[in-house]
Amino acid sequence: MKRVSFRRLLDVLGGLLFALLVLVPSVTGLGALPALGTALNPGTGVWRLSADARTAQSGEMALPGLKNPATVSFEDNGLAHVKTSDDQDLFRVIGYLHARFRLVQMDLTRRQANGTLSEVIGAATLDVDKFQRDLGLRRAAERDWVALKDDNPAKATLQSYSDGVNAAMHELRSANRMPTQFAVLGYEPAEWSPVDSLAVQRLVGQKISFDSQAPLFSYAEKAMGQEAFKAWFPDVPENKQHPYDKGPFKKLPLTPLPQRSFPDPGSGSAKASAAGQTRPEGPLALGAGSELAPLLERLGELPNSGMGTMGHSNSWVVSGSRTESGKPILSADPHLPHSLPSIWYQLEGHSPGYHFSGVTTPGLPVPLLGKTDDFSWGLTASQRPTTLYYLEKTEQGRPDEFYSKGSWQPMAKLHEKIAVRGQSDVDHTIKLSSHGPVMEVEGLTAAVWWAGTLPNDNLNSILKMLRARNVQEFRDSLSNWVTPALNFSYADRHGDIAMFNAGVAPQVDGHPPTLPLPGDGTAEITGSIPFEALPSSVNPPEGYIVSANQREVTGDYPYQYSTSYNWVLHGWRDGEIVDRITSAGKLSFAETAAMQSDWHDNNARQLVPLLLDALTGEQLSGSEQQVVDMLRSWDFNATPESLAPAFFDSFKNRVSWVTFEPWWKHYGVKQNPGEYLLPKGPDAGAWAQETLRGTVLGWIQHDPDNKYFSLPDGTKRTTTQVLREAFHQSVKRTVEKFGADLNGWRYDKYQRILFPSLLGISALDVGPMPWGGNPRTINTAVGTRDDDAGNPLSNLATAGPTWRLNVDWGTGEANSIFPAGQSENPMSPWYANGVPVWMRGQFWPVLEGDAVKGTAEWRLRP
Amino acid sequence: MRVVLITGVIAVAVAALDAAALLVGWWWVTVLVAAVAVYRFAGKRVLLAVLAGTVVAWGASMAAQAGSQLGAVADLVAAMALNGRGLGWVVIVVSLVYALLLALAGSWVGGAARRLRRTEGVAEQEETLEAQHV
């Protein structure tokens, strides 16, 4: 045998080393790079994007588990119509559809719920994961799945749905057609389970109902003292309210809350792989300069952007006595952060036991808003406290104990490992007192009691609701609703209209649940307002019911309820809706639908006339006189063409600033760590500012001698002086900002709307585009983003009506629209096709049965 | 002439094999085909043929998948990876360079194996382009 030369050896070793250098990143990825072979190869990698984006093609396909053949028809706008001859098949097909069109969104959503985002994103989401694990959505979901009895229809529904999702995943995987985003991110999703759906259900509730108002406003309450605090932040907002339940009220005994203990016995400690996710293989690290680092960083902001907390909504029902058709009309538009894809996937579902049209959330098998053959329903978030904060008494020498009811008690501890992409697992310990997980929120360490993790059987409630035939059955279906606290609007073919508040409402003896509570056992929850005593209204004599997040009841409601500060929506939208309904003659379907695009500002409608009165006799400059003339001719409509909002945006804030700023300085009110309790400047918005806007308006209208118009040093000021000062300041500031020529004040020059991509990629966003409205208009436009300095971007709307629904039970007309599309694939024609329609205030008809003109049909066989 | 012909045949064969494998996502076949080709046929022209065949296979497969939207897909991927607009060409270049790296890796290993075998005195029965040229 010949001796191998050193040179030849080097040759072989060099070749192998080079191959290794190329193959390792190809198989495992490197740093933030995904596995390059999987990602870049033309057959199954990113280059499939356009092929996968093609709209659904007609064809026959197998869906394992189906009992009977089923069909899915697609309209040309992407709306889907599912027809099955078995109820469980219906939910199986819905799961299949969701996975085919929204798999990336579904996986990211369950990861957010479960606290496993860091596993695929990296350290950027570690704090979010810790927060979610503390809160315990996954633990609650696991517990409730174990507790579901076999004869509970929800159990079979969840299993069928999961089976459908998994069938789609298997199909996509075996055909090498998993969504390209997974190739870019470098992982594949694991099987879907019913527990995932239950966790996603709680995440939806978290977005709507989890709040931090109690610790936030405790900064003001602590500094001001109770009397002043109550004056500024009363239980019932000072401005005009439109409660839909005006009493008389009954004080019924409290009902017990669903039982929960910490830690939940059924849950066990969630592990890093709790969600059954596939961890990216290989040595991943978020190295500097890694190409994907920007994407991962943006995904790290995902919970604060596309999936943040913001739950407003409008819904109104008008009885036949007020409509042209002589039968009820229902309108509903839930307000949430805009995102592409949307939180909603719209479909019609038809099986022997169900027939509905409405919007589902990918991850959940049932519609959350919509219509059946017998009734239509909408939802709005209810303004009452369901997140309570307990200040546990602890001592340095007893780090794992809390003092309650006269003795030291051990905190329960859960030890979890959080998988983090690019680094080793992170150990995380969750501490739980008898009230809940101990967390830091708004700079306050407290045990958080949140209704969202109580045991619930909400899915069963919805299944019952979908089968309701009349208002009584609808109401009965909600009697066991636990969370989130919602108003369910209702209108039916029989002519009935109704609104029901549902969900637990914890009561605490002797302490306001809207502020942090002592954890020593003196402020325990004694029960919940019974369902029978929660706000409701059925066929009221005035012929309409409106819910727009306003306080649902009057001040004499005999239970602890919402306050002006534990939520920050003060009745501007409901004021406009009520005005529109009551000032119209007989409402037509088209008029009702058009109301959803209304931009009249109710705050301006009430405040501007008071200002103009106050300016009588005042010496005005040329610019100021121009503004007065402009305001006199303004119809309070904040359209993109209008000029007055440029001034009013400043004025509404300055009125509160001029009134209260000397006082909160006097009281020494501190900012919360995020510095959004109080405005940072005279034109800035803030959480307290939202409440104070209503307070100062109410005082000007009804209590002009209120002591807070004067200064803390005793200097007397009248409301007229306050309004004049705010006016002069606002004109000066607006001229400085937009120039002296009023034509430069057009609202659409600076007011924008943006539909952000869920992945946080600006190139996949739609917008920003010129827009109108503001957070107080029916067609609400809310900013949820901050600028680089952390200040809220007030003129960039990123949240608002995420779906609009109108149903006229007289004419049989129904329409809807959402500002997004059915597909999450950015190259699909169904990615954002609803946006322009929504922006024009137009709709897609809600078609059902034979009226559907499908452009493609899937024939699914077992 | 024969050399050119054989070189062409090798390039076409590499392109066809690579493209067929890429249809089902077997990107690693690119490495394998390059290794076998260079092991079997020696010479710089073979290397050039392998590289050319690889680029053609990957480019054609990308075009076949994305169709007329090749640029749009590339732009979108660039947006996801780099958060920048109009950088689709970077993604196309990176994909092709990556394909070339795969082929080079395979070629090096195949060539090294071939040279090692020759050094060990195993009778070389393979036809080489150089031999044919002589």
**Of A602, A606, A629, residue with least CA distance to A699:** A606
Shortest distance, CA B79 to any CA of chain A (angstroms): 6
Q: Does the structure show a pLDDT above 80 at A568?
A: no
Q: How confident is the model at residue A445 (pLDDT cuts 50, 70, 90)?
A: confident
DSSP of A39-58: HH-TTTSGGGHHHHHSPPPP
Minimum CA–CA partner of A27 in chain B? B28
Q: Give burial (CB, 10 Å; 0-12/13-18/19+) of A568.
A: buried
According to DSSP, residue A829 is labeled T
Q: Which of A8, A24, A46 is the best residue to mutate to test the B interface, defined by the most B CB atoms within 10 Å of its own CB?
A: A46
- Cβ of A15 within 8 Å of Cβ of B79? The answer is no
- Both tokens of A31, joined, read 């740093």
Shortest distance, CA B61 to any CA of chain A (angstroms): 6
Q: Which pLDDT belongs to residue A404?
A: 86
DSSP of A623-644: HHHHHHHHHHT--SB--TT-SH
Q: In terms of pLDDT, which residue wins out, A262 or A453? A: A453
Distance CA(A299)–CA(A291), nearest Å, equals 14
Q: Which pLDDT belongs to residue A689?
A: 87
Q: Which residues of A touch B109 (CB under 8 A)?
A: 12, 15-16, 18-19
> Residue A61, Cβ neighbours under 10 Å: how many?
12
The answer, for A8 touching chain B at a CB cutoff of 8 Å, is: yes
Q: How confident is the model at residue A3 (pLDDT cuts 50, 70, 90)?
A: low
Q: Which residues of B touch A45 (CB under 8 A)?
A: 25, 27
Q: How confident is the model at residue B126 (pLDDT cuts 50, 70, 90)?
A: very low
Q: Which pLDDT belongs to residue B41?
A: 86
* Contact residues for A472 (Cβ-Cβ < 8 A; gap 6+): none
Shortest distance, CA B45 to any CA of chain A (angstroms): 19
Mean pLDDT of A201-226: 90
DSSP of A399-440: EEEEEETTEEEEPEEEEEEEEETTEEEEEEEEEE-SSSBEEE
Query: Which member of B82, B95, B108 has the closest CB to residue A19?
Result: B108
Shortest distance, CA A832 to any CA of chain B (angstroms): 15
Q: Does the structure show a pLDDT above 50 at A284?
A: no
Q: How confident is the model at residue A300 (pLDDT cuts 50, 70, 90)?
A: very low
Question: Which residue is listed with tokens 């909160």?
Answer: A664
Q: Does the structure show a pLDDT above 90 at B1?
A: no
DSSP of A678-717: S-SSTT---HHHHHHHHHHHHHHHH-TT-GGGS-TTS---
* Contact residues for B78 (Cβ-Cβ < 8 A; gap 6+): A763, B84, B85, B86, B87, B88, B90, B91
Q: Which residues of B touch A11 (CB under 8 A)?
A: 111-112, 115-116
> Residue A787, Cβ neighbours under 10 Å: how many?
10
Q: Which residues of A touch B82 (CB under 8 A)?
A: 291, 294
- Cβ of A761 within 8 Å of Cβ of B31? The answer is no
Q: How confident is the model at residue A268 (pLDDT cuts 50, 70, 90)?
A: very low
Confirm whether A530 is domain-assigned. no
The answer, for A47 touching chain B at a CB cutoff of 8 Å, is: yes
Q: What ipTM does this complex have? A: 0.84
Q: Does the structure show a pLDDT above 70 at A283?
A: no
The answer, for B48 touching chain A at a CB cutoff of 8 Å, is: no
Q: Which residues of B touch A298 (CB under 8 A)?
A: 83
Q: Which residues of A touch B113 (CB under 8 A)?
A: 12, 15
> Residue A307, Cβ neighbours under 10 Å: how many?
21
Among residues 12-41 of chain A, which lie with CB inside 8 Å of chain B?
Answer: 12, 14-16, 18-19, 21-23, 26, 36-38, 40-41
* Contact residues for A397 (Cβ-Cβ < 8 A; gap 6+): none
Q: Which residues of A touch B75 (CB under 8 A)?
A: 763
Name the residue range of residue B96's domain: 2-133
Shortest distance, CA A398 to any CA of chain B (angstroms): 49
- Cβ of B25 within 8 Å of Cβ of A43? The answer is yes
Q: Which residues of B touch A295 (CB under 8 A)?
A: 80-81, 83
Beta strand A856-861 pairing with A59-62 = parallel
H, E, C per residue of A470-502: CHHHHHHHCCCCCCCCEEEEEEECCCCEEEEEE
Question: Which residue is listed with tokens 């209209």?
Answer: A497
Query: Which member of A12, A45, A761 has the closest CB to residue B116?
Result: A12
- Both tokens of B50, joined, read 């392998």
How many beta-carbon pairs below 8 A join chains A and B?
150
Confirm whether A719 is domain-assigned. yes
Confirm whether A621 is domain-assigned. yes
- Cβ of A50 within 8 Å of Cβ of B108? The answer is no
Contact A825/A344 with Cβ under 8 angstroms? no
H, E, C per residue of chain B: CHHHHHHHHHHHHHHHHHHHHHHCCCCCHHHHHHHHHHHHCCCHHHHHHHHHHHHHHHHHHHHHHHHHHHHHHHHHHHHHHHCCCCCHHHHHHHHHHHHHHHHHHHHHHHHHHHHHHHHCCCCCCCCCHHHHHC
Q: Which pLDDT belongs to residue A671?
A: 85
* Contact residues for A141 (Cβ-Cβ < 8 A; gap 6+): A113, A195, A196, A198, A199, A201, A202
The terminus-to-terminus CA distance of chain B in angstroms comes to: 13
- Both tokens of A854, joined, read 């499908």
Q: Which pLDDT belongs to residue A32?
A: 63
Name the residue range of residue A663's domain: 602-799
Split into its structural domains, chain B has a count of 1
The answer, for B94 touching chain A at a CB cutoff of 8 Å, is: yes
In this structure, is the dihedral angle defined by the CA atoms of residues A35, A40, A46 and A52, taken in order, positive or negative?
Answer: negative
Can you give the CATH number for the domain in which A696 is found?
1.10.1400.10
Confirm whether A126 is domain-assigned. no
- Cβ of A40 within 8 Å of Cβ of B27? The answer is yes
Q: Does the structure show a pLDDT above 80 at A592?
A: yes
* Contact residues for A753 (Cβ-Cβ < 8 A; gap 6+): A338, A767, A768, A769, A770, A771, A781, A796, A797, A798, A800, A839
Q: How confident is the model at residue A285 (pLDDT cuts 50, 70, 90)?
A: very low
Distance CA(A640)–CA(A654), nearest Å, equals 23
Q: How confident is the model at residue A787 (pLDDT cuts 50, 70, 90)?
A: low
In this structure, is the dihedral angle defined by the CA atoms of residues A598, A490, A153 and A528, taken in order, positive or negative?
Answer: positive
- Cβ of A761 within 8 Å of Cβ of B79? The answer is yes
The answer, for A1 touching chain B at a CB cutoff of 8 Å, is: yes
Shortest distance, CA A34 to any CA of chain B (angstroms): 10
Query: Which member of A1, A51, A762 has the closest CB to residue B65?
Result: A51
Distance CA(A757)–CA(A160), nearest Å, equals 30
Shortest distance, CA A40 to any CA of chain B (angstroms): 6
Minimum CA–CA partner of A826 in chain B? B76
The answer, for A644 touching chain B at a CB cutoff of 8 Å, is: no
Mean pLDDT over each residue of chain A, to the nearest integer = 88
Mean pLDDT of A265-290: 32
Split into its structural domains, chain A has a count of 1
- Cβ of A1 within 8 Å of Cβ of B112? The answer is no
**Angle at the Cα of A522 from the Cα atoms of A520 and A525, rounded to 5 degrees:** 105
The C-alpha R_g of chain B, in whole angstroms, comes to 17
The answer, for A832 touching chain B at a CB cutoff of 8 Å, is: no
H, E, C per residue of A209-246: HCCCHHHHHHHHHHHHCHHHHHHHCCCCCCCCCCCCEC
- Cβ of B66 within 8 Å of Cβ of A826? The answer is no
Confirm whether A748 is domain-assigned. yes
Query: Which member of B27, B109, B112 has the closest CB to residue A41?
Result: B27
Lowest mean pLDDT, pick from A785-789, A800-804, A812-816, B55-59: A785-789
Q: What percent of chain A has pLDDT over 70?
A: 92
- Cβ of A46 within 8 Å of Cβ of B77? The answer is yes
Distance CA(A855)–CA(A78), nearest Å, equals 9
Q: Which pLDDT belongs to residue A372?
A: 98
The C-alpha R_g of chain A, in whole angstroms, comes to 28
Q: Which residues pair with A490 in a beta bridge?
A: A377, A498
E strands present in A555-664:
none
- Both tokens of A161, joined, read 């749905």
Distance CA(A650)–CA(A624), nearest Å, equals 14
Confirm whether A349 is domain-assigned. no
* Contact residues for B5 (Cβ-Cβ < 8 A; gap 6+): none
Query: Which member of B22, B109, B115 has the closest CB to residue A41?
Result: B22
**Angle at the Cα of B18 from the Cα atoms of B12 and B22, rounded to 5 degrees:** 140
Beta strand A355-360 pairing with A367-372 = antiparallel
Minimum CA–CA partner of A32 in chain B? B81
**Of A407, A403, A385, residue with least CA distance to A394:** A403
- Cβ of A42 within 8 Å of Cβ of B112? The answer is no
Q: Does the structure show a pLDDT above 90 at B25?
A: no
- Cβ of B116 within 8 Å of Cβ of A763? The answer is no
Contact A386/A208 with Cβ under 8 angstroms? no
Shortest distance, CA B38 to any CA of chain A (angstroms): 13
Contact A544/A322 with Cβ under 8 angstroms? yes
The answer, for B100 touching chain A at a CB cutoff of 8 Å, is: no
Q: Which of A41, A48, A52 is the best residue to mutate to test the B interface, defined by the most B CB atoms within 10 Å of its own CB?
A: A41
Query: Which member of B25, B105, B115 has the closest CB to residue A44?
Result: B25
Q: Which pLDDT belongs to residue A683?
A: 85
Query: Which member of B65, B99, B105 has the closest CB to residue A23?
Result: B105
In this structure, is the dihedral angle defined by the CA atoms of residues A366, A367, A371 and A377, taken in order, positive or negative?
Answer: positive
The answer, for B9 touching chain A at a CB cutoff of 8 Å, is: no
Chain segment A828-843, per-residue pLDDT in tens: 999 999 999 999 999 9
Q: Which pLDDT belongs to residue A41?
A: 85
Chain segment A525-566, per-residue pLDDT in tens: 999 999 999 999 999 999 999 999 999 999 999 999 999 988
Contact A195/A268 with Cβ under 8 angstroms? no
* Phi-psi sector, A851: left (phi>0), alpha (psi -120 to 50), beta: alpha
